[in-house]
Amino acid sequence: MSKIEVKDLNLIFGAKRKQALELVQKGVSKDEVLEKTKCTVAVKDATFSIEQGEIFVVMGLSGSGKSSLIRCFNRLNNPTSGSILVNGKDVMKMSDDDLRQLRRTEMSMVFQHFGLLPHRSVIANTAFGLEIQGVPESESYVKAKEMLKTVGLEGYEEMMTGQLSGGMQQRVGLARALTTNPEILLMDEAFSALDPLIRTNMQDELIQLQEKLKKTIVFITHDLDEALKLGDRIAILKDGVIVQIGTPEEILVKPADDYVRAFVENVDRSMIVTASSLMFKDTGKLTIEKDGPAIALRRMRDMGVNRLPVVNKNNKFLGFVMDDGVVKLKKDGGKDLNEILISDVMPTVSPDTPAADLLPLFIDKQLPLPVVDDEGKLLGVAVHSSVIAEVTGRDKDEIIEIQKSGGN
Ligand SMILES: Nc1ncnc2c1ncn2[C@@H]1O[C@H](COP(=O)(O)OP(=O)(O)OP(=O)(O)O)[C@@H](O)[C@H]1O
């Protein structure tokens, strides 16, 4: 079961929203709906789900409907039509009491401007969510203290929040949101008001924290770099419409339309595109226990390559064999590929190694980089020409031609 499931969601602001909805459903544009009914279509026909434990980023320009959308999740906004299930429960059908309960226990929000009470101490702010749940101070302060430690604010408990820097205030905001131990965190431009360096630190810390806490986080931002860094998946909103949902790599490698393409144009793809999307899964690998030189040669010929990776029966990567070695082995009557195995000369890489970090690892342009999982099992190989094409933005076929003619 998904954590949050949104189906056919429309959110329209204005008095004549029923009339506006009919127009939207007939395909009338947002501008025309505004002209005819004076209503704003903030979210149009959104259908998607958010999974437990993921950081789901909602990205778009100012006014694209990001806040409007996520405020539907806890009914701070009332959707005009459609359904939203949180943990399988339909929020549209919840009573006021159920909603209060949902906001207090299952979902917390972190805002851009922190939303702290300036005349209360750090600990009192942090314990606030538990206080309104009626938890006694003796208990809530213990939890709040623990959470302040988690966000790096140990020792600041008694200070007034007004005395803290922006970055520290946002840590308090985060600690406050986490103190009630919600399953879902809604973070609305939570780091946008911070200085760039502090913002980067907070992003890093959120990623670390998430590794430990495994919450479901919905993170709004208008900043693509932030979206790419934090998001397990990113939804891109334009004029209230979700134009693409995908992993950072999918968004970069296959932008759904010109709007998304314009967003991603200036990103340093080589740092974000990773070995997993560059590697060839069809490696033609040879298994040391069963494949001999005849099979190796035939497979090389079929695939049009001069080297193949070798694995053991558990798919653990062992090394490469090259065509000249195989020919010699066969001629000498040998059967065991171990005799000609080239190992230890090339590094293996993990699937999340950025493309830019792969290039210096090629020792020999002919030997691909084996991409292996944590246990050393072969997932695929990244070849030199594809990596160069990715990092430099040059045409891959052109690079292959140059390499064939001996150039770089
Ligand atoms: N309470 C409201 N009443 C009327 N219109 C609203 C209301 N809230 C938002 N809107 C309109 O809905 C649209 C989407 O606004 P929203 O604030 O969700 O966008 P956003 O992407 O979060 O923008 P920003 O990044 O500037 O916060 C805008 O046209 C906005 O003017």
Ligand 1 close to Cβ of residue 169 (< 6 A): no
Does the pTM of the predicted model rise above 0.90?
no
**Distance between Cα 195 and ligand 1 center (Å):** 25
pLDDT of residue 201: 85
**Pocket flag, ligand 1, residue 229 (CB < 6 Å):** no
Tell me how far apart the alpha carbons of residues 156 and 152 are, in angstroms, rounded to a whole number.
Answer: 9
Residue to probe by mutation, ligand 1, list 13, 77, 263, most atoms within 8 Å of CB? 13
Q: Whose CA is nearest to atom 24 of ligand 1?
A: 62
Strand bridging mode 369-372 / 40-50: unpaired
Q: Is the shortest distance between the CB of 222 and ligand 1 below 6 Å?
A: yes
Domain limits, the chain: 50-270, 276-404
Ligand 1 near 292 CB (within 6 A): no
Kindly provide the ipTM of the predicted complex, given to two decimals.
0.94
Out of 3.40.190.80, 3.40.630.40, 3.40.50.1580, 3.40.50.300, the CATH code matching 50-270 is 3.40.50.300
Measured distance CA(33)–CA(10) in Å, rounded = 13
Q: DSSP for 63-119?
A: TSSHHHHHHHHTTSS--SEEEEEETTEEGGG--HHHHHHIIIIIEEEE-TT----TT
Give the pLDDT score at 91: 94
Using a 6 Å cutoff on CB, does residue 129 contact ligand 1? no
Amino acid 312: pLDDT: 96
Q: What is the model's pLDDT at position 399?
A: 58
111 lines ligand 1 (CB under 6 A): no
3-state helix, strand, coil in the chain (%, to 5): 45, 25, 35
Which CATH architecture fits 276-404?
Roll (3.10)
Q: 231 CA to middle of ligand 1, Å?
A: 22
Query: Cα separation of 3 and 110, whole Å?
Result: 19
Confidence at residue 406, expressed as pLDDT on a 0 to 100 scale: 60
**Is 319's C-beta closer than 6 angstroms to any atom of ligand 1?**
no
263's enclosing H/E stretch is helix 258-264
Give Cβ neighbours of residue 31 (< 8 Å, ≥ 6 apart): none
Tokens representing 305 are: 């390559």
- Per-residue pLDDT 10s for the chain (408 aa) are 899 999 999 999 999 999 999 999 999 999 999 999 999 999 999 999 999 999 999 999 888 999 999 999 999 999 999 999 999 999 999 999 999 989 888 998 888 877 888 889 999 999 998 998 889 999 999 999 999 998 888 999 999 988 888 888 988 998 999 899 899 999 999 888 888 888 888 898 899 889 988 999 999 999 988 999 899 999 999 999 999 999 988 898 889 999 998 888 877 777 778 888 889 999 999 999 999 999 999 999 999 899 999 999 999 999 999 999 999 999 999 999 999 999 888 899 999 898 888 888 888 888 899 999 999 999 999 998 888 887 776 666 665 666 566 655
The residue whose C-alpha atom lies closest to atom 28 belonging to ligand 1 is 63
Whether 248 is in the pocket of ligand 1, judged by its Cβ within 6 Å, is no
- Taking the centre of ligand 1 as the mean of its atom positions, its distance from the CA of residue 264, in whole angstroms, is 24
